[in-house]
Structure 1
Amino acid sequence: MKKSIYQVGAVVILSAFLAACNTDIDEPTTSSAANEEPAETEEVQNEEQPETTEANETDESDDASSDQQEEATETSEDTKAEQEDKADNTTLTYISNGQPFEEKVVTSTSDEMNYTIQHFENYTLTSEEPGVDSLLNNADEATSMQIEVVQKEDVTFDQLKESAKETISAIAPDSTKDLDLASTLEERKEISNIVGYEALLEDEKVVKVVIERENLFVTLTIYDNVQADLTDAFLQMGLTIQ
């Protein structure tokens, strides 16, 4: 009987001991898991923080880009306004009957040929025939200028020069002269070559001028008279062709 009591007591003691052991083993596991959770939370916070930083950097970049675009737009508008103002105030000076004159000019584009010209406000650019335009003096129909523009690959300066000289010689064989245009080359660096001839028939004048620019040739045929003397006016306008 005592032996059975001892056995039961031993079993009870052993069970209590095992229960205590199990408690000691489980507690560290629970404690470890609790300790790991803050670490995971910190990692999640660290992962989320760069996104916030990147978002802030993106906002700052967008703001800077917007500011730059606004500045570029303002600069573009200012430049355009300056160009328009400059165009409205562009003038050309010419000599007529020994007197200097200065007039405002406007810019026109040829309908048939790929060029622009600056001309006085009371003149009109019109297409006369394929390859030939006319600049007409609205105040005097007796004075005008024909314009022919060709690309360099189509002809040479010497060919155009020879053709102009032959035309003038045929108009007035006994009253022709070469024009002195040396000052034009000195004053206008964009003109690489220029030559001119004049034929005089009583009080009427016909002038042929061949101009070489970087990318094209221009042939001007000016119809003028002694009274109007607008040859230099037409020439100054013709020199702006480009």
Structure 2
Amino acid sequence: MKKSIYQVGAVVILSAFLAACNTDTDEPTTSNAASEEPTETEQVQTEEQQETSETNETNESDDSSTDQNEESTEPSEETKAEQEDKDDTDTLTYISNGQTFEEKAVTSTSDEMNYTIQHLENYTLTSEEPGVDSLLNNADEKTSMQIEVVKKEDVTFDQLKESAKETISVIAPESTKDLDLTSTLEERKEIINIVGYEALLEDEKVVKVVIERDNLFVTLTIYDNVQADLTDAFLQMGLTIQ
């Protein structure tokens, strides 16, 4: 009888022990699950943070793209300098001894007369006498050009034309010729009229050219020689007078 009581007591104690064990293991599981499950407020905060993060990333991407576009369209300082230098550089093209040359030109202003001229760098504009300037070739003193500029109200084109023709005829009555300047008149629309005459004295030659522009007349007297052949160079410089 006592044995049966002991057996029953043992079963009861064992059952109570197992129940206690089950209770201990279930509670932590429930507690962990509850702690891991986000509340509704936490979910809303998380979604808002994600949206804010995505917006910031999008804005940063747009700003970066804009900066890259601005950098790609903005010319470098070196490019700007090169462009400005190119814009400020004038050149003159002329023919000498059958070859075409293109050289840098500079602008000078007459000290005595109210005009400007573009000429090659190795030339100097100087005042020779009242009403007459000289453009000197620094490399060859035998080649030069006299320049006379007068207002239109003081004289006519025909008068200057006849004077130039008479001067050439006196220099070399038997070796003078008219210059064909038709192409110059066609290419340069700012020139209204132009005539030219040439006198040849052995290897030396003298050329007179009369140019009519809107506001003035220009008479050029070119002193050249066969070896240098700079008549066209002087003419191209003279055509820039204004």
With normalisation by structure 1, the TM-score equals 0.65
1:186 maps to which residue? 186
Residues 86, 240 of structure 1: CA spacing in aligned structure 2 closer, same or farther, 3 A cutoff? Answer: farther
Calculate the aligned-residue CA RMSD, in Å. 1.5
2:101 maps to which residue? 101
1:110 maps to which residue? 110
Between structure 1 and structure 2, the one with the greater Rg is: 2
2:239 maps to which residue? 239
1:209 maps to which residue? 209
Offset at residue 88 of structure 1 (A): 3.6
Offset at residue 194 of structure 1 (A): 0.0
Residues 83, 185 of structure 1: CA spacing in aligned structure 2 closer, same or farther, 3 A cutoff? Answer: farther
Unaligned runs of 5+ in 2: 1-80
Task: Return the letter of the residue paired with 1:230.
Answer: L
1:227 maps to which residue? 227
Between the aligned partners of 1:178 and 1:201, the Cα distance in structure 2 is 15
Between Structure 1 and Structure 2, how many residues are aligned?
Answer: 162
Offset at residue 85 of structure 1 (A): 3.5
1:145 maps to which residue? 145
For 1:119-198, list aligned pairs within 5 A. 119-198=119-198
SS of equivalent residue, structure 2 residue 165? helix
SS of equivalent residue, structure 2 residue 241? coil
For 1:21-40, list aligned pairs within 5 A. none
Offset at residue 89 of structure 1 (A): 1.6
SS of equivalent residue, structure 1 residue 228? coil
Between the aligned partners of 1:193 and 1:87, the Cα distance in structure 2 is 30
Between the aligned partners of 1:109 and 1:83, the Cα distance in structure 2 is 26
For 1:79-98, list aligned pairs within 5 A. 85=85, 88-98=88-98
Between the aligned partners of 2:84 and 2:146, the Cα distance in structure 1 is 28
Between the aligned partners of 1:83 and 1:221, the Cα distance in structure 2 is 37
Between the aligned partners of 1:217 and 1:82, the Cα distance in structure 2 is 37
Q: Is the 8 A contact 1:88 1:106 kept in 2?
A: no
Identical counterparts, % of pairs = 92
Residues 85, 225 of structure 1: CA spacing in aligned structure 2 closer, same or farther, 3 A cutoff? Answer: same
State yes or no: 1:200 paired with 2:192: no
Between the aligned partners of 2:161 and 2:173, the Cα distance in structure 1 is 17
1:17 maps to which residue? none
Between the aligned partners of 2:109 and 2:196, the Cα distance in structure 1 is 24
Unaligned runs of 5+ in 1: 1-80
Offset at residue 84 of structure 1 (A): 6.6
With normalisation by structure 2, the TM-score equals 0.65
SS of equivalent residue, structure 2 residue 174? coil
SS of equivalent residue, structure 1 residue 177? strand
Between the aligned partners of 1:182 and 1:144, the Cα distance in structure 2 is 24
Q: Is the 8 A contact 1:87 1:106 kept in 2?
A: no
